Structure 1
């Protein structure tokens, strides 16, 4: 009887050990994600089942339309657990200033105008993220990480770029740069009334153009102006939509730094899309 009990005890131990080993193996398996290459990044993220917090944050920060643009974008997508671990509660981002902070955090996960596959990453590679901060990669023992966040699933292909799933929310540096970005998109981002314009610039693929030296003069419609015009960025989908949006935006930009005192009533200015506008000056 004692021998029989020992056998049962040994069998139970073996079952527990087997279950424990299986659990360890399960936790080591990368997250399996199916993606639709015909759908954009936000749509694919919403379908993974582990990015509800990320998708909600993008909506809260008004970044969905921007990331539905033609891109291409590379997005490092923290899971719901990563948001929980970071203690991020969207209800706390309830002022324009705090919402700008949320946008900064989210844009620190996005690389604009390129699709970076895992095979393109080398140890020590540093890239500039969409919020203007740099992020560095580490590659060790076949594991890719970015700023301490491990890539658990790589190369999830979308119609407008690629998603890499990470296990940690990336936080931009709190250090104030010695020379803060002062290009047109950066200044527009800081006004608080040009959110749609900045999103449109990103969606139309004009971000890097307007971050360049230029100089440029931009006649910048406010968020209310976009609303009054009935313009929704979701209407500009596909290549034709992106080209149409780029043409609209280019009609607001001219080469050269043209100050208001250089403008006169009735003068014509050639815009970036090669069309002319007539300036009106009232006393």
Structure 2
């Protein structure tokens, strides 16, 4: 089936099919209907573009109320669709890890290459098929609809009520600027995670700014690690001064790390990605120490 699809799309390219015609030939009916509804079909034939095109299944993953909202707001719909379009031709061979591309929506999208499991993502969405050529550009099919980030990692933490404790700790440790540098992953403990740490440990962190900074940076990885690029038994090196590592255990869609798990993965930020976790990570050398209320 895939070979037939690829042959059909290649034939359309040879015959001079434009981007919209290639999308129509691909059977991606949801995307085509939304492009037409947003009044973008004609614009996509007037110039050279690269489209990161969500499949029908990708649109099916969206919450029904969000899809309905987009369907009733043409401007919002057009903005989301423009976020999937880059001016010019961008092929797989042009991709590099952490490359950012300007979209027609005015915001950048980030490419990541994970060589260990042969995945390439754009804003965390897997690219399923590359380099479908049209007469005026290229189409890459992706497995998720991309939504514009709501700011930097710090903005996401500040905007989430369940991360208010983490925000106060980041501010106390003077790490706001550090978390606004580019290409970071934050494993963000929720308020409940800090509560489970215990009053003794929380008190230790409050009394020792350097220790607090070290613990917080143990939750930050200096690269953009979306879930599609993570693999079982992988060790991630963190930003704390000792460059400590922690290991991931992945079963299906479940991501375990140390003695807890990821609650919500792949929250895109303008400078990386955030994963919410249900516990506070503690480097091995502090296990059994006064930090955890032990002698």
What TM-score, normalized to structure 1?
0.47
Bigger Cα Rg = 1
User: What TM-score, normalized to structure 2?
Assistant: 0.45
More strand by share: 2
